[in-house]
A and B are shown apart, each in its own frame.
Chain A
Amino acid sequence: MNNQPNLTIERSSVELTKEDFVSDQMVKWCPGCGAHAILSSVANVFPKIGYRKENFMFVSGIGCSSRFPYYVNTYGIHGIHGRAAAIASGVKISNPHLSVWVATGDGDSMAIGGNHFIHIIRRNIDVNIMLFNNQIYGLTKGQYSPTTPMGSVTKTSPQGTIEHPFNPGELVLGAQGTFFARVIDAVPRLMTEVMFEAAKHDGTSVVEILQNCVIFADKTHDSVTNKEHRDDRTIVLRNGEPMIFGKDKNKGIRLNGTKLEVVTLGENGITKDDLLVHDAYQHDPGIHLMLAKMSYPHFPVALGVIRSAMYPTYDDMVEEQITYAKAKQKIKTVDDLLNSGETWEIQ
């Protein structure tokens, strides 16, 4: 794989640092909110990506996560509810030399913005989407969202929700997504690593961040992400490596018939060779979908880059069509156009 991020974006001639991306605005998220760690990871990874600082652009919708553009010193649009993906599509198509990032939440992108979310993915526009999934509407103070676990008691579900939640990875792959990764807000190292991979990927990348909302859905991901048991209940996928997890590195995932299965190394003669080896780059999304859907308690939750498949991007194809048309079409100027076809002179 190519280790250089997208070459159509101009690279910085000077070494950039975290300070280059810190804005002068006061960060107004609640103390303890998972978003602080995400902001810090972005400021850490942007200099490493290496583009000119003027070529980064943030777009957001509405919600706690969507205040993000104000807190990063890049070009940015804080849009309207649900529409970040649509705005970002216009940004990237209009100027493909920008590295475009979307900050969005589970309500913003999967409820009101669900349509734009699936269509940007289907088109494979080269935009990086950071999906802050805290399973709750925070800015409106605690209503259930499309990812809230069924049965959860929230302000609008006093008897518990009766809705089946979305698994974002499943939706991304259903929309023919080419890149999907999952991280935890409390593990910044993996987060920056995955964001770098997302930047490198040509096409729409979706990074689901399991984020904690300290006020309205505190510890919503705790059964999986708590440090105490995180190693046993999650698996960090790395391309080319066998799927091993657990505090003692003794558990693994294997394919048994058409299903995934958790096995213990050394039991029943199971060795490393029996385990699935992660292939994030394969086109067939079958295994990727099974990995994205793994959930506790039957499986560890998959973290890291689950899928990163190479497909042509919409924005590249737009440019190709324009180049081709400019070479082939007879109409080169608007005057040519105005005088094309049936015209006649009146004296």
Chain B
Amino acid sequence: MVKTKSNVIQKDAVVVKFVGDSGDGMQLSGTLFSDTAALEGLDLATFPDYPAEIRAPHNTIAGVSGFQVHVGAKKIETTGDLCDVLVAMNPASLKANLKWAKPGATIIVDENAFDEAALKKSGYTENPLENDSLSGYNLVKAPVTLLTREAVKHLSLDNKSADRSKNMFALGMMYHLFGWGFDHTYEFFGKKFKNKPDVIAANKAVLEAGFNYAETIEALSSVFQVSKAKMEPGRYRNITGNVATAWGFLAASERSGRPLFLGSYPITPATEILIELAKYKSLGAKVFQAEDEIAGICSAIGASYTGSLALTSTSGPGLSLKSEAIGLAVMTELPLVIVNVQRGGPSTGLPTKSEQSDLYQALFGRNGECPVVVIAASSSANCFYYAYMASKIAMEHMTPVILLTDGYLGNGSQLFRIPKVAELPEIKPPIAKPNDPDFKPYRRNPETLARQWALPGTEGLRHRVGGLEKEDIYGNVSTDPLNHQKMVDLREAKVQKIAEFIPEQEITGAKEGDVLVVSWGGTFGPVSEAVEALQKEGKSISHAHFNYIMPLPRNTASVLNGFKKVIVCELNSGQFVNYLKMTHPGHNYRKYNKVQGLPFTVTELVNVFNATLEEK
């Protein structure tokens, strides 16, 4: 692209947010913008933010749909606190999102959308474009609707069809702002609208019109330049957390040789895992959309007994329904992975918002002494790795594993360095051999305390499992008091022993100091950025981010021992900090919690950590 005006601003990272009405195509603009950024060599993270309603009333706050993308020349771990550029296609989206724009941010609006009716529906009493309420920003009032119609005039489309391309006008303006080319976007049009040359022509014309408009007007005379990110060499793709989770399971199935079975029931924000796995019958994946959450997990338990890598995916309310069946999997000592893409609770709560408030449920939410492994992914991309590890642990240790992700990780996307399946850790399920004279259903491997997996159809291994207490070794029903004590202890010891097989907990920063920031799961991005910022200022602060929760890494005590104060940050009221207080008492614990359905911002964390550092 030729840049005629060359007032270039060098940027390390830029946050862009596309917002508009549900039907305005903001998700598509955001996705095309992100893909182009990735192809330009930038690192990035994205998050779609859409209403719980499928088609909320037109032009209302409830109907605002958004897509935030953070691009940069550095490693991008968050989707960004506040945006540098806000593209707002109607008054409601501006009203709902202005608070997320940095002071002085560039705000691009479609001025044609700010008519009386739309202003009224969004709750504006006067037009914000005509008073000085936006004087603190670089406001760009673009006649997007008019110029879009103008650009496609030669194609004889009606206004309604023409208006569908409005999102491309905004995208064209953004491409000018960043100095990027159209190649990838054109390629996308070609594939998406294969047999609709008119639609391709319209989208191209509007994209170019937006670019040219931005080039012409004074307001955008400066452009951003973000240099290529320094990333580990390799092949990359963009991936959402839910897709990464599904693919991690497929990789574990292939590597272990165990066919994949998913029993699941649709629930926001976990449904994409079910949708994604349903696509890969060619990889032998069997996906059973069950009649309810309970049937989802129970079918998986049946599949597990017969030798499948058995999975069930859900979100908080669904995990509640699965509790009794998780107990059955604990008692029968069968491998099973339960994914909980956490959302705001309790009850139906905030289905499309993110939270970490199901930790207690994952750890303790069952009847009886009922230990399960709990693992949490910490980025959209590493959902792949933790789904893989959850499967490996479940099969090798013959135990249910709860994998916690959340709505932000699941729906958000990140660049993902593509691994080779053969290079992933080996998975060796303890499958019993036919006619093994020593086989007993509950005889254990002394190293793992796992029993063997005896698959139906195998000669000489017929046996029964069930929810009644099992006699040690033989697996017959037993109500013997001492046997019960022994089995309770064995099931606990089996899970605790997994600590010997998982990595030690890492610390970012010095191993000793004033403050250790502890976090877990989906908050890694903002917490690590905030700690890094303070470390650069020379503060005595380190960070330990936990992915393995039950059991905790074997060096957890020594990690905590090195610091005067330990501050635990979570998007709940303090569940992990209480778990640490219980398992590792005696430290000077502080906590920072937020339960608003929103992620931490780096800014708020920096303030909190500074206060903690200063506190006597």
Chain A residues with CB under 8 Å of chain B are 10, 23, 25, 52-55, 57-59, 62, 69-70, 73-80, 83, 86-95, 97-98, 115-116, 119, 318, 321-322, 324-326, 328-329, 331-335, 337-339, 341-347
> 1/0 per position for B291-309, CB-CB distance to A under 8 A?
1101100111111111110
Smallest Cβ-Cβ distance to B328: which chain A residue: A80
Enumerate chain B residues within 8 angstroms of A92, measured Cβ to Cβ. 302
Enumerate chain A residues within 8 angstroms of B78, measured Cβ to Cβ. none
Chain A proximity of B303: nearest CB distance (Å) = 4
Cβ-defined contact, B283 with A333, below 8 A? yes
Task: Flag whether B324 is at the interface (Cβ < 8 A).
Answer: yes
Cβ-defined contact, B254 with A91, below 8 A? no
Cβ-defined contact, A334 with B421, below 8 A? yes
A326 to B328, CA, bound (A): 34
Assess A94 versus B302: contact at CB under 8 Å? Given A76-B465, A79-B328, A329-B282. Answer: yes
Cβ-defined contact, A90 with B298, below 8 A? yes
**CB contact between A337 and one of B250, B459, B462 (< 8 Å): that residue:** B250
Chain B proximity of A302: nearest CB distance (Å) = 29
What are the 9 tightest A-B residue pairs by CB atom distance, in nearest-first order?
A: A78-B466, A90-B302, A90-B299, A329-B282, A325-B281, A86-B298, A94-B303, A86-B295, A91-B302
Cβ-defined contact, A87 with B298, below 8 A? yes
Enumerate chain B residues within 8 angstroms of A69, measured Cβ to Cβ. 464, 466
Enumerate chain A residues within 8 angstroms of B419, measured Cβ to Cβ. 338
Q: Which of B14-48 contact A (CB under 8 A)?
A: 35, 38-39, 41
Cβ-defined contact, A339 with B235, below 8 A? yes
**New A-B pairs, 6, CB < 8 Å, besides A78-B467, A90-B263, A321-B281:** A69-B464, A70-B477, A75-B457, A77-B464, A97-B457, A342-B35
8 contacts between A and B (CB under 8 A): A75-B462, A76-B464, A76-B465, A322-B284, A339-B235, A339-B418, A342-B237, A345-B233
**CB contact between A75 and one of B251, B324, B328, B456 (< 8 Å): that residue:** B456
A62 to B468, CA, bound (A): 10
Enumerate chain A residues within 8 angstroms of B451, measured Cβ to Cβ. none
Cβ-defined contact, A331 with B261, below 8 A? no
**CB contact between A77 and one of B288, B302, B420, B421 (< 8 Å): that residue:** B302
Chain B proximity of A90: nearest CB distance (Å) = 3
Task: Flag whether B370 is at the interface (Cβ < 8 A).
Answer: no
A268 to B335, CA, bound (A): 68
Enumerate chain B residues within 8 angstroms of A115, measured Cβ to Cβ. 291-292, 295
Most chain A beta-carbon contacts within 10 A, residue among B291, B328, B456, B458: B456
Chain A proximity of B236: nearest CB distance (Å) = 6
Chain B proximity of A32: nearest CB distance (Å) = 22
Enumerate chain B residues within 8 angstroms of A339, measured Cβ to Cβ. 235, 418
Smallest Cβ-Cβ distance to B415: which chain A residue: A346
Chain B proximity of A74: nearest CB distance (Å) = 6
A77 to B38, CA, bound (A): 50
Cβ-defined contact, A343 with B236, below 8 A? yes
Enumerate chain B residues within 8 angstroms of A343, measured Cβ to Cβ. 235-237, 418
Cβ-defined contact, A325 with B282, below 8 A? yes
Most chain A beta-carbon contacts within 10 A, residue among B254, B281, B282, B420: B282
Task: Flag whether B534 is at the interface (Cβ < 8 A).
Answer: no
A69 to B310, CA, bound (A): 22
**CB contact between B420 and one of A55, A329, A335, A344 (< 8 Å): that residue:** A335
Q: Which of B237-284 contact A (CB under 8 A)?
A: 237-238, 247, 250-251, 254, 259, 261, 263, 280-284
Smallest Cβ-Cβ distance to B230: which chain A residue: A346
A285 to B466, CA, bound (A): 37
Cβ-defined contact, A326 with B281, below 8 A? yes
Enumerate chain B residues within 8 angstroms of A338, measured Cβ to Cβ. 237, 247, 251, 418-419, 421
Task: Flag whether B134 is at the interface (Cβ < 8 A).
Answer: no
**CB contact between B298 and one of A79, A318, A332, A342 (< 8 Å): that residue:** A79
Q: Which of B409-423 contact A (CB under 8 A)?
A: 418-421
Chain B proximity of A137: nearest CB distance (Å) = 18
Cβ-defined contact, B476 with A25, below 8 A? yes
Cβ-defined contact, A55 with B286, below 8 A? no
A59 to B466, CA, bound (A): 9
Most chain A beta-carbon contacts within 10 A, residue among B238, B250, B283, B300: B283
Cβ-defined contact, A73 with B299, below 8 A? no
**CB contact between A331 and one of B280, B302, B460 (< 8 Å): that residue:** B280
Enumerate chain B residues within 8 angstroms of A91, measured Cβ to Cβ. 302-303, 305-306, 456
Enumerate chain B residues within 8 angstroms of A337, measured Cβ to Cβ. 247, 250, 280, 283
Enumerate chain A residues within 8 angstroms of B308, measured Cβ to Cβ. 94
Smallest Cβ-Cβ distance to B305: which chain A residue: A77
Enumerate chain A residues within 8 angstroms of B325, measured Cβ to Cβ. 80, 83
Cβ-defined contact, B456 with A90, below 8 A? no
Task: Flag whether B332 is at the interface (Cβ < 8 A).
Answer: yes
Cβ-defined contact, B283 with A87, below 8 A? no
Cβ-defined contact, A73 with B295, below 8 A? no
Chain A proximity of B283: nearest CB distance (Å) = 7
Enumerate chain A residues within 8 angstroms of B38, measured Cβ to Cβ. 344
Cβ-defined contact, A333 with B286, below 8 A? no
Enumerate chain A residues within 8 angstroms of B280, measured Cβ to Cβ. 325, 331, 337
Enumerate chain B residues within 8 angstroms of A57, measured Cβ to Cβ. 306, 456
Enumerate chain A residues within 8 angstroms of B35, measured Cβ to Cβ. 342
**CB contact between B307 and one of A76, A79, A95 (< 8 Å): that residue:** A95
A78 to B298, CA, bound (A): 12
Chain B proximity of A81: nearest CB distance (Å) = 8
Cβ-defined contact, A89 with B295, below 8 A? yes
Cβ-defined contact, B300 with A116, below 8 A? no
Cβ-defined contact, B261 with A93, below 8 A? yes
A337 to B277, CA, bound (A): 12
Cβ-defined contact, B468 with A95, below 8 A? no
Cβ-defined contact, B290 with A86, below 8 A? yes
Enumerate chain B residues within 8 angstroms of A329, measured Cβ to Cβ. 281-282
Task: Flag whether B346 is at the interface (Cβ < 8 A).
Answer: no
A98 to B250, CA, bound (A): 24
Cβ-defined contact, B463 with A75, below 8 A? yes
Cβ-defined contact, A94 with B306, below 8 A? yes
Smallest Cβ-Cβ distance to B239: which chain A residue: A338
Smallest Cβ-Cβ distance to B424: which chain A residue: A334
Chain A proximity of B413: nearest CB distance (Å) = 12
A25 to B462, CA, bound (A): 13
Chain A proximity of B606: nearest CB distance (Å) = 30
**CB contact between B421 and one of A80, A321, A335, A346 (< 8 Å): that residue:** A335
Enumerate chain A residues within 8 angstroms of B298, measured Cβ to Cβ. 79-80, 83, 86-87, 90, 116
Enumerate chain B residues within 8 angstroms of A321, measured Cβ to Cβ. 281
Enumerate chain B residues within 8 angstroms of A73, measured Cβ to Cβ. 462
